[in-house]
Every structure is written in structure tokens, then in C-alpha cells.
Structure 1
């Protein structure tokens, strides 16, 4: 099968390869930031790895100024101090190489890197259905953030299915089935939801039944989604998947099964698994994928035959292609939300990293074997004293810390340095988008290498959904029309 050609210009594979080359070089140059654990801030003396010229300027900033500088670098011109060129160069590099994160809708005047002006109808992804979605009906049991994602993902999925003449959609890692429910009952697609956890599958079926009772009152007779309890692993045989789907949809002939794949924040290697299913299975014709939990992907360090990163041949053969676990973990953090808290002066909320780092120091000094132990997750830390936080946090370890260890002059001195912890964490968040850009562009190049017509779309509000890029890949026959 031949696929739609791509427009020449800034999104050619060679340009993306050059960007990836620069991204990987920048990540390696800033490895000291990307590989640092925040809980080791005091144990490993992270503050000392920063150039003194940087710390001299950064320590003079208020939290509000720091938040503005990380997100809006042009603001540094308003500060009277002379900024180190190396720090300004880093901020400029990040701004230049990061993927666009603001939602891209119908404004195609300057498509960002990774967006392909596909031929011939480049606006098809956001075309709305004539009949508006009954939000009151479909938003039950869903938090506003999740509904924001699902509504957009469902519309784009329905548009891809319509474009390719496809009536079947497979939602992998479907959870409670909210996305599949909108695709089935609102967009009229036949949907199969595959979910590993049986408790979620059973609850999804109950929500379906509740919705069907409501829809009967408005004479909606569309088919409900089919829910199947199934774990999708990286070595899944495509014939096994086809058999599952034919049974789910009651089909007798495989030739009638033409389906799209969707994954809304599948964890770790599940995203790359969906990409391989698309490229290896002839019946699969499109994929809409939003990644998540990049640190859980298998990489070359795991010795796995099937890797989640790197995927493209270009990155696999690049000498600087290593992304540490810590780097991939910080790339999943919420940059915009954190900077908003800085800009709003919510400093009490930001001290949790300092509390955790100070507690780690105490644990390592008394019981080195407990280094990097998982502690109890504590809510409302900003309302607690350090002593109360420490006592509750170690409950999971079933140990009791002496009260005298929690109220020393050394501990008080560390806690007074909380702004240094905030600054260091902000610098890590500053470079974190470079790591995600490497991972997403690696996936995009993989699709290129497999002959797919693929795009990266910043679709969600990053303040609601920090992982907001949808990888759209289509098996689309070459059009006789020319590109715009």
C-alpha cells in the first residue's frame, strides 16, 4: 500500500532528524539536571553542581519572577542583574527545540514541528459533528480534566474513522470505558474496549447500562461498546488480536474488519505496542495515541528485545540516544501548573520537595539501606510541620524516627533553603520538555520509516493535561491531488 506524500518544508524527516540531533546533544549536556533526584538534593549536594553565576542571579528571584522566567523567557530583560550567557543560552535553546504545547485547532498558519499538512484536507481532524455532544449525559462519573481529553480525542478519532471509511475502533487500556462510550453512543462507531483490570471492566459495563436507560428515553439505539478483560503485551500476535475482535463484533470474515486504534495515556510500553500493532496489522488503518509514564518504557539498558525507546532507526543509531530513567520521569511532570503556582506565590505548596529531601538526609544518615525508599503519600503537606510530615511519611516503612532527629539545627538550616530546592526543580522542569520532544519525535520518525502519514498534534490544554500531544498516524492511499 502506498501512502499520502508529505508537504515539503519545515516538517520533512531530515529537518526532524536534525532537531533530534540537537535535542539529544542538549539533553546530554544537561545530564546533571536531568539525572538528579529531587529527594537527593541535600544528600548529593545538588545545589553545588550549578554554576555559581547561575545561582547568584536565580537566588535573587522571587517565586513569582522565577515562574514567569521559566515560561516566558522574554521577561528576563526587566531584571537589573546581568544574566549569565550560558543560562540565557539554555533557556533560548529550550524555547527553540521544544514542541509547541498550546492547543492547535484550526489555526494552521504556522504549523509547529511534527504537524504535517496532510493532503488534501488538513483541517479534517477538528471538524465537529453536526449534532452537539450531550455533555450533561456523557460527563457523569468523569472529572472535568478527563472529560476535556475524552471529548477532543473522541472527535478526532471519529474524524479519522470517517476519513478512512472505518466503522470499528479499539480502545486499548480503556479503563472505565468513557472514551469508548462517546465513540459508540454519540459518534455511532462500533467499539471494543480492552482493559487489563477486571474490576474496571465490570464497572464500565454498569455505567453502559445506566447510560442505555437514559438514551432509550431519547430513542438512541446505537450499539454499546464491547468490554473485554484483556492484557495487551508487547509480543501480542496480530492474529490473536484479530480473533478477539472478530468474536467481539460477531464477524465471520476478516476482510470486513477495518479498525482504528486509540490509546489515551496508555502507560509505558503500551503506547509503542499500539504503534507496532498499526504497522504490523493490515486490518488496522489508523492510530490516535497520547503517551504517558515514559519512565516505564523498556529501553536499551533493559536488555529487552522489544523497546519502547528508541523506536526509530535514526535514534537507535545515534551515539547520544540514552535517556535516563530520571530524565524520562521528569518529562512527565506538569510544567505549566507548577509555574502557575510559582507565579501565584503559592509557596507553601512548593515546600514538599524540601521536606522530602530533608527527610531523605535523615534516613540515609541513620539507615543507609532505606535510601530511595517509597514513603507514604501525604496530602495537604503545606498545612503540616516538618516533624508531623516526617512521622506520617515513614509509617509505610514501619519505623519510628527519634523526635530529636527531626528538630536539629541542621534540619532547620536545610528547611530554610527551600527556595534553592524550588529553583533546582524549576531548572529540571525547564529542560524536561526536551526529553519529551525526543521521545515523541522518535515515535514520529518511526512512523515515517514504516511509511505512515503521521502527525503530532498539541490538542489538550497543557494546564489540564500535561501530556497533551496526540500522535495521529493514518494508512492513507496516495492522493492524486497536490499538497497545499
Structure 2
């Protein structure tokens, strides 16, 4: 089952890959180098409300294009996984540490952990021990928090010093580590960032841990091709940073005000990069914050002035008239409209990239002797990385 799905995902991903991996700098340098699709052109002709319905509310059918609809139809059958109702509506809210999102996740996993009935838990990347505290409190199981961040380990030990069933292990989990793990146990990663997912799966499978539960996240931080794990992958296709980042997005619906804010971020950022290259021959993407609403509530000229001062202090701020003339110019508006359409479509195909990564990981465990499944556990509106790999070691 996993092998067949993986083959189909991989085949479709090879077709869709250009739509999530474009080099934006090349497009800014030369607009003719952009990836061109008829449905990008159709999308740019939509009204603002239609575009919001398509992108913000995920109504893919509003883009009436045969190629697009065929891609979406194929993809929709491959990216959905069984929904395990680990968090029924008549649920009991159990005590949990952490922020509201973390409390939701722990309660949502309650029945999953209950069904596995672990005797011992290894909490990979457990930080201050919120998951371990939950399991120790509600299942009376001993747990070891494994984390590379010494500050979190120190904080967790202080916070949970009265919980004798919880221990902390400060170590980097990678190919060189040699953890002494009890095989009759459960290894949990909630959530494992970037390469950490593979490192956890490799350690757990090498030690033949009985149960493994892994939620991935921050796929854009994966390095060294640690996304081709299974023998089925054959180490291709190549996924660049853009492709991996597309899998890290939220695939839920977005309220209109948040959506408009997202569009303004794209408008200001890419207009700035376009102006910087046109006027100064500099093309360098900067780590601008997407969370600072105050920055994007400014006029574009003030945004440019602040951004120049931070990242390019040697450059003199432009005259307001010439800057705003460039900002409103046809070439710049054309570029922004194109990128807006491109990323609206890219957000759909990001789900396909995530499915590829998860099925590849599940297959890797299957080839290590595990029965592997992928379940949708969380509400994606609350926790976007909502899918779990649940694997149990096959008894010989």
C-alpha cells in the first residue's frame, strides 16, 4: 500500500516540482525566465474576492483550467490519510503543561498513547518535558526527555524535579550518538524539526524500539538530502529549499485580514528586492520578519528606508517620488501579480511535497521491520503539521 502510494506521489511530484522550486531571483533579474503556465495567467485575471476564495479559502475549483484541475484531482487522492479520532467531541480536558497549542496536541494524542500502552517513553526533542509530564501524569509511565538544548534541560529538571518518573538526557541525537534505550518502549517526536526526524527514526529503528510516533516539522531545515530515506526513493528527485519550504506552510483556510496581511508582505518584500536590483544591481534576499505587523503597516517608502538601514546601511534612501514611481510601475506590478499567482498555486502543491516526505519516512521504517501507518491526528487549523507516522516493530 505505502509502496504504491509513494510511486504515485513521486511521479506527480516530478511533474509539479517546478511549481514549488522556482528560483525567484532569476525571475527578478529577468521576468522572461519565469515559469509560465496558462493557469497562472487565468489566476491573475480573477477579482480580489475570487482570488481570496481560491487561495485563502482553498477553493481550488474556482480556477477553471483543465491542466490545473487534473493536477489537483490527482493530488487530492494522494495527500489524504486516515483521520484517527484521537480527540473526540466528548473529550475530557486533561491537565497539560505548555501553550494552548501544545495542550491541544497532548490531549489530541491521548487515545493514541493509550492504545500503544507503553511501559517506557523516550521523548525526543522534549525540551522542558511537557509531553513527558503529560504521559507520567495520565499514564503513570516513566519517561526520558532527550534534547540537545542544555538550557531547556536545566529548566525542565527544575520544573519537574518532584516527578521521579521523568529523567532528562542532554545529548545531540545524530548518527554518532549511542543512546542506551530499552527496546520495549515508545519513542515519540512531537514535533521533530528538519534532520532531527530522520536522526530520531534511525536511532529508534537501530535500537529496535517497539513503538515509534513521529510528527515532522520545519522541512525547510532538512539538509544533506535527508529526505530520501527509503530504498524506493532512489535518491531523487532533488528538493531545493523552496520545495522543502512549501511543505512547511499551513494548508488551512485563512481569515481575510490575515490573508490581506500575507499579500502585503509579498508585495513589499518583492517590490523591495526588485527595486534594489534595478537601482543598485544587488539581488540578496534578507531575513525580514513576517510577524512584525507594524513594519508592513508603514508606507512603502518608510518600509524601504528601515530595511535599507538594517541590511544595506551604505545605501542612501531614494527620493520618495522616484521610489513610488517604481513601486507603481507596470513592470513591478506585473512581477508582483505573477508572484502572487505563483505562490497561491505553490501553497497547494506544498501538501504533495509533505506527503512525499512522510511516506518516504514511513517506508524507511517499514524496510527496517516495522508496520508503518500515517494518520491525520490534529486539526490543521490549530496545528498545521497534523500528520503522524505510527510504527510498531513486527514480531519475528
TM over 0.5: yes
Deviation at 1:332, TM superposition (A): 0.5
Question: Deviation per CA, 1:88-109, whole angstroms, max 9, x where unpaired?
Answer: 2222222233234xx8234xxx
Deviation at 1:395, TM superposition (A): 4.2
Matches within 5 A, 1:218-367: 223-237=164-178, 241-242=179-180, 258-282=184-208, 284-300=209-225, 308-316=226-234, 320-336=236-252, 339-341=253-255, 346-366=259-279
Q: Does the 8 A contact of 1:195 with 1:201 survive in 2?
A: yes
Q: Does the 8 A contact of 2:174 with 2:200 survive in 1?
A: no
Structure 2 equivalent of residue 434 of structure 1? 352
In structure 2, relative to structure 1, the CA distance for the partners of 1:431 and 1:468 (3 Å cut) is same
Question: Deviation per CA, 1:365-421, whole angstroms, max 9, x where unpaired?
Answer: 455565224345660044222222223334442514423277242222366555543
Structure 2 equivalent of residue 466 of structure 1? 384
TM-score by length of 1: 0.72
In structure 2, relative to structure 1, the CA distance for the partners of 1:367 and 1:173 (3 Å cut) is farther
Q: CA RMSD in A?
A: 3.0
Structure 1 CA distance for aligned equivalents of residues 105 and 92 of structure 2: 16
Q: Does the 8 A contact of 2:27 with 2:34 survive in 1?
A: no
SS of corresponding position for 1:334: coil
Structure 1 equivalent of residue 311 of structure 2? 397
Q: How many residues align?
A: 388
Question: Deviation per CA, 1:67-116, whole angstroms, max 9, x where unpaired?
Answer: 4435233455xxxxxx332222222222233234xx8234xxxxxxxxxx
Structure 2 CA distance for aligned equivalents of residues 473 and 371 of structure 1: 43
TM-score by length of 2: 0.86
Matches within 5 A, 1:33-182: 33-37=19-23, 42-45=28-31, 48-51=34-37, 53-69=38-54, 71-75=58-62, 83-100=64-81, 104-106=83-85, 126=86, 132=92, 134-135=94-95, 138-139=96-97, 142-160=98-116, 162=117, 166-182=118-134
Q: Which runs of 5+ in 1 are unaligned?
A: 1-11, 77-82, 107-125, 213-221, 246-253, 301-307, 479-484
Structure 2 CA distance for aligned equivalents of residues 73 and 40 of structure 1: 28
Deviation at 1:341, TM superposition (A): 3.5
Deviation at 1:45, TM superposition (A): 2.7
Q: Does the 8 A contact of 1:268 with 1:294 survive in 2?
A: yes
SS of corresponding position for 1:180: helix
Q: Does the 8 A contact of 2:191 with 2:215 survive in 1?
A: yes
Q: Which runs of 5+ in 2 are unaligned?
A: none
Question: Deviation per CA, 1:204-261, whole angstroms, max 9, x where unpaired?
Answer: 233325xx5xxxxxxxxx6342123222123323xxx11xx6xxxxxxxx7xx63211
In structure 2, relative to structure 1, the CA distance for the partners of 1:295 and 1:376 (3 Å cut) is closer
Question: Deviation per CA, 1:120-146, whole angstroms, max 9, x where unpaired?
Answer: xxxxxx499x995543xx34xx22222
Q: Does the 8 A contact of 1:312 with 1:445 survive in 2?
A: yes
SS of corresponding position for 2:214: strand
Q: Does the 8 A contact of 2:141 with 2:165 survive in 1?
A: no
Looking at CA atoms only, which structure, 1 or 2, has the larger radius of gyration?
Answer: 1
In structure 2, relative to structure 1, the CA distance for the partners of 1:227 and 1:393 (3 Å cut) is farther
